[in-house]
């Protein structure tokens, strides 16, 4: 087939060339039939036929300010004119200004920055820094987690996306702790009688493993189901890490940037990690940027020790300018407060669905970060599908629900047996009503397959 140039392809040619020559991620390639998107603005995106979709998950939980934020666009345009690229060994105004702003919004004390171009790379940097600083090698992660796709970050990923790389295709030295999941505790406990056994077990692991450099957590687990720890968990984990000389790494790639009703999820417990990684919302996802932020003790270590890490695109000026604009926009819009308020509204609406649908196991969330977990059996909390189903290419109930919602003009992220509902933080009540109504209608499909 001859390929016409940009602007001249028909929708079917766009789809054909895309699927023939490029990879679709985390899937079998056969049967991939991506929708062509031509525009996106505010809480909506538009396909090639002109149909508009409410973006109820902010794409990959990353477009926190909504699509086409003007300030972010202009920052990219102006920086491209001014200084699109200079090597990371130079100082730039844009780098200095972003660093200054980050000291204002990140948890206090995490104030030395390494800029990457993704969340994955931010975590890779964190692992190397933790190992170089402590002189130890093991990383404790948790089963229900995602930390990225490279050989280090996939090794630290607890969910089934890691399995293809087992055992030799991944960084050695990551071990897994049980996740916090008060809906379905992996240790079979019930909060609060559990005494936060999932945190205590981490101490047991550190005590019996030796050579542990760091404990890595998504403070509020994202893709794997918006799992929110009870209030005692994070302070206890901090105590355990301090007592044992182990670093605490908070992966706030998804939970950061006002998503949960605070600048960062760790702010809910006033716990400061030693290393904080983030990406996604930092530029409103308009340009790829990640951040690995460390505390002053770690920073001091590298005054006299070789910092054995770097990228050509580290601190790339074009990636930093939109981050400044995005942070200023978040401040201007009081986005954390707004997410808390609108999140309470979204939570009320989603929670009201539970008694109406026997396929809903639990609704949970914080800020504008919610999960609706589907079950085949409410009493036994049996999910419709599992990681095995996902990898085997079995059609998932959640995917069928999500596809039907797309038909209704609402986009929602589905994973295994739950949805992650995390719209742009500028969403209105009317838009929330519309998204929840579409879910309400579509869940009949799952109800029909749930045990009576
Ligand atoms: C918690 C978390 N960490 C890391 C990553 C990887 O970030 P990226 O896709 O920017 O490499 C993601 C991506 O979804 C994430 O949700």
Q: Which of 280, 283, 291, 420 to mutate to test the pocket of ligand 1 (most atoms within 8 A of CB)?
A: 280
**For the segment 21-61, what is each residue's pLDDT rounded down to a tens digit?**
999 999 999 999 999 999 999 999 999 999 999 999 999 99
pLDDT at 327: 98
Pairing of strands 138-142, 174-177: parallel
Q: Which residues have any ligand 1 atom within 6 Å of their CB? A: 60, 118-120, 123, 146-148, 218, 222-223, 251, 253-254, 279
SS3 189: coil
Measured CA distances, 10 to 32, 76, 243 (Å): 18, 29, 62
Separation of alpha carbons 9 and 337, rounded Å: 44
pLDDT in tens, 385-401: 999 999 999 999 999 99
Helix, coil or strand: residue 317 = helix
pLDDT of residue 166: 96
**pLDDT one-digit tens code per residue, 360-419:** 999 999 999 999 999 999 999 999 999 999 999 999 999 999 999 999 999 999 999 999
Give me the pLDDT at residue 7, please.
Answer: 81
Characterize 358-392 residue by residue with b for buried, 16 or more Cβ atoms within 10 angstroms of its Cβ, and e for exposed: bbbbbbbbbbbbbbbbbbbebeeeebbbebebbee
pLDDT tens digits, residue range 283-308?
999 999 999 999 999 999 999 999 99
* Dist CA 163 CA 379 (whole Å): 30
- Which residues lie closer than 8 Å to 263 by C-beta, 6 or more apart? 105, 106, 256, 257, 330, 336
pLDDT of residue 337: 98
Q: What is the mean pLDDT of residues 99-103?
A: 98
Minimum-distance ligand 1 atom for the alpha carbon of 223? 16
pLDDT digits (tens, 9 = 90+) for 64-97: 999 999 999 999 999 999 999 999 999 999 999 9
Q: Is pLDDT above 70 for 1?
A: no
6 alpha carbon, distance to own chain's centre = 32
Given a contact cutoff of 8 angstroms between Cβ atoms, the answer to whether 361 and 378 are in contact is yes
Mean pLDDT of all residues in the chain?
A: 97
Which of 221, 250, 254 best tests ligand 1's pocket when mutated (most atoms within 8 Å of CB)? 254
* pTM of the predicted structure, to 2 decimals: 0.97
Q: Which atom of ligand 1 is nearest to the CA of 148?
A: 6
Pairing of strands 418-421, 369-377: antiparallel
pLDDT attached to residue 161? 96
Beta bridge partners of residue 413, listed in sequence order:
420
DSSP state of 118: S
Say how far apart CA 397 and CA 361 lie, in whole Å. 14
Partners of 415 in beta bridges? 418
Over 80: is that where the pLDDT of 4 sits?
Answer: no
Checking if the pLDDT of 16 tops 70, the result is yes
Pairing of strands 247-251, 275-278: parallel
User: Distance (Å, rounded) from C-alpha 248 to C-alpha 263?
Assistant: 19
CA of 420 to the centre of ligand 1 (A): 14
Question: What is d(CA 234, CA 117) in angstroms, rounded to the nearest whole number?
Answer: 28
Mean pLDDT across 265-285: 98
């Amino acid at each position: 087939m001859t390929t016409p140039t940009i602007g001249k392809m028909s929708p079917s040619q766009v789809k054909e060339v895309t699927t023939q020559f490029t990879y679709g991620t985390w899937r079998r390639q056969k049967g991939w039939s991506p929708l062509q998107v031509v525009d996106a603005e505010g809480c909506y995106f538009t396909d090639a036929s002109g149909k508009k979709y409410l973006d109820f998950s902010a794409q990959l939980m990353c477009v926190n300010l909504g699509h086409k934020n003007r300030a972010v666009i202009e920052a990219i345009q102006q920086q491209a004119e001014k200084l699109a690229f200079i090597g990371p060994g130079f100082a730039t105004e844009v780098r200095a200004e972003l660093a200054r702003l980050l000291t204002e919004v990140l948890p206090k004390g995490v104030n030395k920055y390494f800029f990457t171009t993704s969340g994955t790379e931010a975590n890779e940097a964190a692992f190397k820094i933790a190992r170089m600083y402590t002189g130890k090698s093991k990383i404790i992660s948790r089963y229900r987690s995602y930390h990225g796709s490279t050989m280090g970050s996939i090794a630290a990923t607890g969910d089934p996306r890691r399995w293809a790389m087992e055992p030799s295709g991944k960084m050695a030295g990551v071990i897994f702790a049980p996740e916090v999941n008060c809906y379905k505790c992996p240790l079979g406990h019930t909060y609060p009688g559990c005494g936060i056994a999932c945190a205590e077990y981490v101490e047991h692991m550190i005590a019996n493993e030796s050579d542990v450099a760091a404990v890595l957590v998504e403070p509020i687990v994202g893709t794997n189901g918006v799992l929110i720890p009870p209030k005692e968990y994070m302070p206890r984990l901090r105590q355990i890490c301090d007592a044992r000389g182990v670093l605490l790494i908070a992966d706030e790639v998804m939970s950061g940037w006002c998503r949960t009703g605070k600048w960062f999820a760790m702010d809910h417990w006033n716990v400061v990690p030693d290393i904080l990684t983030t990406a996604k919302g930092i530029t409103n996802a308009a340009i790829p940027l990640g951040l690995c932020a460390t505390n002053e003790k770690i920073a001091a270590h590298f005054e006299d020790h070789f910092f054995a890490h770097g990228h050509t695109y580290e601190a790339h000026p074009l990636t930093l300018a939109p981050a400044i604009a995005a942070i200023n926009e978040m401040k201007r819009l009081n986005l954390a407060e707004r997410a808390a308020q609108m999140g309470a509204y979204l939570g009320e609406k989603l929670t009201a669905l539970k008694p109406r649908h026997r396929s809903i196991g639990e609704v949970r969330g914080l800020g504008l970060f919610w999960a609706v977990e589907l079950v085949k059996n409410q009493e036994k909390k049996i999910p419709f599908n599992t990681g095995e189903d996902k990898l085997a290419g079995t059609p998932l109930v959640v995917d069928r629900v999500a596809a039907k919602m797309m038909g209704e003009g609402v986009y929602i992220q589905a994973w295994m047996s739950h949805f992650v509902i995390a719209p742009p933080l500028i969403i209105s009540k009317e838009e929330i009503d519309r998204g929840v109504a579409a879910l309400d209608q579509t869940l009949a499909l799952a109800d029909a397959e749930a045990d009576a």
